[in-house]
């Protein structure tokens, strides 16, 4: 538990984002193909729970599958019970006093080692994300790079918060403010950023001195199991975290309701996030605190295309935002609001560009889009396409795609009214609603007509309209003349308003405060 003598903000280089691998280079393409081959050889392996530093199995199992080829079993996992969930919380709690006293420099050093390990195993993790989450090569690369960024950024932020803050001097007193960890946290991570968001939430909690119970999505538990390997290799103590897989309604509820759970960090749907918030608010026997909930719950994100926009750039920005990773990002553009004077031309250009997109297995680098995550998701999206076809005009898409996987063509539905379901409800798939606006003020009114408030973008060359949007476009992440996806750690702190969550701003300078509490200390001098 010795402190690395040289580790400090002064000795660390300034944070920079992890560069993306250039897959157009032949040597990188070969290396990625080799990584895919190595990972495929591990398909069907069984992964255990991790509780109290021990591996455990259960009688009931479940499988994670490759959404590009659902007949392929990626991993076999344990169905934990509420009893095991309780054991996980208790084991993490028992180690919390010891872990919380580790010097912040030691915890930060572990996190920097985790970043180094992820960097060394980058293409391997890319391959796991391709196979289990259905992300194409560039999308998987961005996911893994963001995980590395979180490790590097939060290590530095922990050092910043770890130093006592001198306060106003009062006569005869020494005053300071210190930040201390909360306790045991539950990390409930999503399938759509199965490594990046899992890594960000988990490492933020650990580096600030909390212990955690990791409960990943049942669609991508293998990636989470592999991440736990990284934590152990990086030196995180065996009892500093637990890994529990299984049903959200069974295991997740038990973890949230446990009286010793101090906080819940969640990313997922609005419905589940609201349920967690409600459960966490109920005082349990033996509970002595108000549980903290850090939630990111989705969006219905809009891009405004103004009459004074660079139309080519706007088309590309909407296309990538709407159909990147099959529209399965909480930040994805699902509403394009276009000035009436350029509406027809925009639609024509967008339709032509969309129809060039290739759809197929995510491990084939020729494909721009892979599968949606599972059959339930595909069925739900098809239902929305049917609804949208009645609410508006189907411009393109809605055709079958050959192959075993859960593939869908990108869909554009035009002339959508603001009260239409596909204008208001989160679809989480490659479905874009396009609506005309009378003018820029009307476009802003339409963009804000949502219970969500996560991301948004505006394409315009007019500085006055940019000023107006900065003040009146009500979202947590607002972009001008670029896509509304792809927030970068350290540059675009991420989180939204209203039903998009608690606006916790992941990857920003305030995020670690979610996992800390402030203690003011006054010492009367002799």
Note the pLDDT tens digit of each residue in 219-251.
999 999 999 999 999 999 999 999 999 999 999
> Widest CA span of the chain, in angstroms?
81
Two tokens at 156? 């530095």
Range 274-278 average pLDDT: 97
Range 8-35 average pLDDT: 97
- pLDDT score recorded for residue 400: 76
In the residue annotation, 296 being an active-site residue is answered as yes
- Tell whether the model's pLDDT for residue 4 goes beyond 90: no
Domain topology for 50-297+504-523: Aldehyde Dehydrogenase; Chain A, domain 1 (3.40.605)
Same fold, 50-297+504-523 and 301-488: no
Which of these is catalytic: 330, 333, 398, 484?
330
Which of these is catalytic: 18, 152, 296, 426?
296
Q: Are 309 and 461 in contact (CB under 8 A)?
A: yes
3-state secondary structure 226-280: HHHHHHHHCCCCCCCEEECCCCHHHHHHHHHHCCCEEEEEEECCHHHHHHHHHHH
Two tokens at 404? 């075993």
Two tokens at 150? 């979180």
Q: Are 346 and 314 in contact (CB under 8 A)?
A: yes
Confidence of residue 164 (pLDDT cuts 50, 70, 90): confident
* CA dihedral sign, ordered 195, 199, 202, 204: negative
- pLDDT score recorded for residue 6: 74
Note the pLDDT tens digit of each residue in 403-461.
899 999 999 999 999 999 999 999 999 999 999 999 999 999 999 999 999 999 999 99
- pLDDT score recorded for residue 166: 87
Range 387-403 average pLDDT: 92
- Tell whether the model's pLDDT for residue 526 goes beyond 90: no
- Tell whether the model's pLDDT for residue 50 goes beyond 60: yes
- Tell whether the model's pLDDT for residue 160 goes beyond 70: yes
Domain topology for 301-488: Aldehyde Dehydrogenase; Chain A, domain 2 (3.40.309)
Listed residue (149, 164, 54, 160) closest to 111, CA to CA: 149
Map out the domains of the chain as residue ranges.
50-297+504-523, 301-488
- Tell whether the model's pLDDT for residue 272 goes beyond 90: yes
- Tell whether the model's pLDDT for residue 5 goes beyond 80: no
Note the pLDDT tens digit of each residue in 122-140.
999 999 999 999 999 999 9
Range 2-29 average pLDDT: 89
Two tokens at 30? 């070969």
Percent of the chain with pLDDT over 70: 99
In the residue annotation, 333 being an active-site residue is answered as no
- pLDDT score recorded for residue 507: 98
Two tokens at 476? 């947590």
Is the pTM of the predicted complex or chain greater than 0.95? Answer: yes
- Tell whether the model's pLDDT for residue 14 goes beyond 80: yes
Note the pLDDT tens digit of each residue in 200-220.
999 999 999 999 999 999 999
- pLDDT score recorded for residue 517: 98
- Tell whether the model's pLDDT for residue 3 goes beyond 80: no
The H or E element that residue 293 is part of is: strand 292-296
């Amino acid at each position: 538990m010795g402190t690395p003598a040289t580790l400090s903000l002064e000795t660390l280089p300034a944070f920079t984002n992890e560069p993306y691998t250039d897959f157009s280079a032949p040597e990188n393409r070969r290396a990625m193909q080799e990584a895919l081959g190595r990972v495929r050889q591990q398909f069907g392996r069984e992964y255990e729970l991790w509780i109290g530093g021990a591996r455990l199995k259960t009688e009931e199992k479940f499988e994670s599958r490759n959404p590009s080829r659902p007949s392929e079993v990626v991993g076999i996992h344990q169905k934990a019970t509420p009893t095991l969930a309780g054991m996980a919380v208790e084991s993490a709690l028992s180690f919390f006093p010891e872990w919380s006293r580790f010097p912040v420099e030691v915890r930060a050093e572990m996190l920097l080692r985790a970043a180094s390990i992820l960097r060394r195993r980058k293409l391997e993790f890319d391959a796991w994300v391709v196979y289990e989450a259905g992300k194409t090569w560039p999308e998987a690369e961005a996911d893994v790079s963001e995980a590395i960024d979180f490790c590097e950024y939060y290590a530095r932020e922990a050092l910043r918060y770890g130093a006592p803050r001198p306060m106003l001097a009062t006569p005869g007193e020494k005053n300071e403010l210190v930040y201390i960890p909360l306790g045991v946290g539950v990390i409930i991570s999503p399938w759509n950023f199965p490594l990046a968001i899992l890594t960000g939430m988990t490492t933020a909690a650990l580096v600030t001195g909390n212990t955690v119970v990791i409960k990943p999505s049942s669609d991508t538990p293998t990636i989470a199991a592999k991440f736990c390997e990284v934590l152990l290799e990086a030196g995180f103590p065996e009892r500093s975290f637990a890994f529990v897989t299984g049903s959200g309604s069974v295991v997740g509820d038990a973890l949230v309701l446990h009286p010793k759970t101090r906080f819940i960090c969640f990313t997922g749907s609005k419905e589940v996030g609201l349920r967690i918030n409600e459960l966490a608010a109920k005082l349990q026997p033996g509970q002595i605190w108000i549980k903290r909930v850090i939630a990111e719950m989705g969006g219905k994100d809009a891009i405004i295309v103004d009459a004074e926009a660079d139309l080519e750039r706007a088309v590309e920005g909407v296309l990538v935002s709407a159909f990147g990773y099959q529209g399965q990002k909480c930040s994805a553009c699902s509403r394009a609001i276009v000035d009436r004077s350029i509406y027809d031309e925009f639609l024509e250009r967008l339709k032509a560009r969309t129809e060039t997109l290739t759809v197929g297995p995510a491990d084939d680098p020729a494909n721009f889009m892979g599968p949606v995550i599972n059959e339930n998701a595909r069925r739900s999206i098809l239902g929305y396409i049917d609804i949208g076809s009645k609410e508006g005009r189907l411009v393109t898409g809605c055709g079958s795609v050959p192959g075993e996987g859960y593939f869908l063509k990108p869909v554009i539905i035009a002339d959508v009214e603001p009260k239409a379901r596909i204008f208001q409800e989160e679809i989480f798939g490659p479905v874009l609603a396009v609506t005309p606006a009378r003018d820029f003020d009307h476009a802003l009114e339409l963009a804000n007509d949502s219970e969500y408030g996560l991301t948004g973008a505006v394409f315009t060359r007019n500085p006055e309209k940019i000023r107006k949007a900065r003040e009146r476009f009500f979202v947590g992440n607002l972009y001008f003349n670029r896509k509304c996806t792809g927030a970068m750690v350290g540059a675009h702190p991420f989180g939204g308003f209203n039903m998009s969550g608690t606006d916790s701003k992941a990857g920003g300078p305030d995020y670690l405060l979610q996992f800390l509490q402030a203690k003011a200390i006054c010492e009367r001098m002799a």
